[in-house]
Structure 1
């Protein structure tokens, strides 16, 4: 696998009418979301320097609740529309139900059935679209305009990015001396937020040196790595990967400048590496969906002199799919007990 050092800028523009978020926006988001979002723990993978930021233990089962909670707090919507591969849609559906407002989630026909069902159980309407992420996002924008609803993007939005960055503030407080932070890259909002949060390591009492921030993409969809390397946004063809949450085709217009300025390295992993990482975590009682395991795989293959943190972004995966993927790694034992406890 290859990696790209971040030494090239980008000419991507922020959306019309909006600006890029900053470190103070992340700190403001932390105050807004505190009553709703859990402060998740760090957990060491035994025998390794890897500490997992356990966002799979978040109320919605993923880190997405951070950005959604901040976006809802700022916009105070009366109706919402979003596009999602699953975890973001679940977080939107949870908050919409709590606020008793209508929610529509646009998903592709290839979305994981268990995620679709959970979103429906939470009361949101699911609309399917043929095609990929680009078609899904266009339909969500169209529906929001038709319904007069607030569009809550899954990643490429200043308030969402600021909310995702709050995970970085927690890492800085709990593990100030870590060597690196590894982040899986789907839409890029979490990585962009982590880049903003790096300033937390420069606050009074913190170490002089911030950790290296590493973004991890599937080998089939390295749109951020290519975009940063070329200095311009690069769109990749629709791709197949076990990491369904990381299969975006284009970098975000808000996220890309932040990633280009703040990420220290971008690297890719293949499906075999992802499934091996899932199997290792499972052997220690942790159920990780493939998108989470991608960053674990990248951290485990690198050499480190100090501890590193991997943001374990979510654990929303069905028993059947989890078993099927682990069987490909030669793990055929019953996982029911692990999944029941997760």
Structure 2
């Protein structure tokens, strides 16, 4: 048993849920998406609406758990955008300085929102590995506390509250589809589901399927930088904290193409759900897998589309990053 698996469990998710009460929304399960041609009592897919979360994504949960537990006065992170937005939104009212390191290809609108919320940004060439390396260096040089976007016990436990809510609101759920980038959300859901018979299925963009490749190899594997349309899921290798949790609990991993992701974005939009591509990856995986019966849930992990980000910026720092609808 690894150190991470030995020290983290469902009790940590419960503690995170208590700690972050008042900072996050208990997001709803939206009405399902029955597959065409299915019987009425056949496969039904519910959507866990994390695009409605404060800051516009599930990242608020792990960020809040870490910030509130650590009590740091200065924080550094590497982020593709949403984790940085969540930290900046949390930090300003608490007087915490936040520096967010972003790799090439990061969304300019997300960078602008981080700055509008009072965060400081540093851009580096390369991919997620170079970004995270620079964040570690900055933390060492400045004495700031490093709060990674996924590879941290408190972050993983906070993200696990998504799974905890799903299983509380729909205990008969048979399968949960979870997007996998750095792995914090997938590991968190695995923790929440450790003593529950639900199937946990991780969904990765094709080409950046670092968890599928790592589990096949029996060890963490680093993949080259990717340019998937799901910009929040471009992580290059599993984190030390999420990897063993995922390895020992996930039931399956699915890879989806950019065309499948964009089709899921379009389907959600037709249903009135504005999701960014990263936020639609779990739905793309669910549609690829299909089901002959039983209840499934796909996590819509984020709604920070370019339009939503511009709307948040126009609303001003007081309301920026307030969640979809105002995300």
TM-score (norm 2): 0.89
Superposed CA deviations along residues 116-162 of structure 1, whole A, max 9, x for unmatched, are 11101101111000111111001111111111111111001001000
What is the rounded CA distance, in whole Å, between the counterparts of 1:213 and 1:72 in structure 2? 28
Superposed CA deviations along residues 251-298 of structure 1, whole A, max 9, x for unmatched, are 111110000001000110000000001011111111111111111011
Report the CA distance between 1:215 and its aligned residue: 0.3
Unaligned runs of 5+ in 1: 1-10, 202-209, 323-338
> Does residue 232 in structure 1 map to residue 227 in structure 2?
no
Report the CA distance between 1:74 and its aligned residue: 1.4
Tell me the residue number matched to 2:295. 307
What is the rounded CA distance, in whole Å, between the counterparts of 2:54 and 2:187 in structure 1? 22
Unaligned runs of 5+ in 2: 36-43, 311-323
Q: Contact 1:79/1:149 (CA < 8 Å) preserved in 2?
A: yes
Q: Write out aligned runs for 1:139-288 (5 A).
A: 139-199=134-194, 201=196, 210-288=197-275
What is the rounded CA distance, in whole Å, between the counterparts of 1:221 and 1:88 in structure 2? 19
What is the rounded CA distance, in whole Å, between the counterparts of 1:151 and 1:14 in structure 2? 20
What is the rounded CA distance, in whole Å, between the counterparts of 2:111 and 2:81 in structure 1? 7
Q: Contact 1:44/1:51 (CA < 8 Å) preserved in 2?
A: yes
Report the CA distance between 1:306 and its aligned residue: 1.0
Report the CA distance between 1:302 and its aligned residue: 2.2
What is the rounded CA distance, in whole Å, between the counterparts of 1:14 and 1:186 in structure 2? 22
What is the rounded CA distance, in whole Å, between the counterparts of 2:284 and 2:309 in structure 1? 19
Tell me the residue number matched to 2:41. none
Report the CA distance between 1:109 and its aligned residue: 2.3
Report the CA distance between 1:301 and its aligned residue: 2.5
Tell me the residue number matched to 2:304. 316
Q: Contact 1:14/1:253 (CA < 8 Å) preserved in 2?
A: no
Report the CA distance between 1:320 and its aligned residue: 9.9
Q: Contact 1:45/1:281 (CA < 8 Å) preserved in 2?
A: no
Structure 1 SS opposite 2:55: coil
Report the CA distance between 1:340 and its aligned residue: 6.9
Q: Write out aligned runs for 1:126-145 (5 A).
A: 126-145=121-140
What is the rounded CA distance, in whole Å, between the counterparts of 1:230 and 1:52 in structure 2? 32
Within the candidate set 69, 87, 94, 1:92 is matched to 87
Residue-pair matches, total: 305
Write out the 4+ residue segments of structure 1 that deviate beyond 6 Å after TM superposition.
339-342
TM-score (norm 1): 0.85
Report the CA distance between 1:211 and its aligned residue: 1.3
Structure 2 SS opposite 1:37: coil
Q: Contact 1:169/1:200 (CA < 8 Å) preserved in 2?
A: no
Tell me the residue number matched to 1:79. 74
Structure 2 SS opposite 1:60: helix
Tell me the residue number matched to 2:97. 102
Structure 2 SS opposite 1:165: helix
Q: Quick one: structure 1 residues 14 and 235, their matched pair in 2 at CA, closer, same or farther if it must change by over 3 Å?
A: farther
Q: Contact 1:278/1:288 (CA < 8 Å) preserved in 2?
A: yes
Q: Contact 2:74/2:97 (CA < 8 Å) preserved in 1?
A: yes
RMSD between superposed Cα atoms in Å: 2.0
Structure 2 SS opposite 1:39: coil
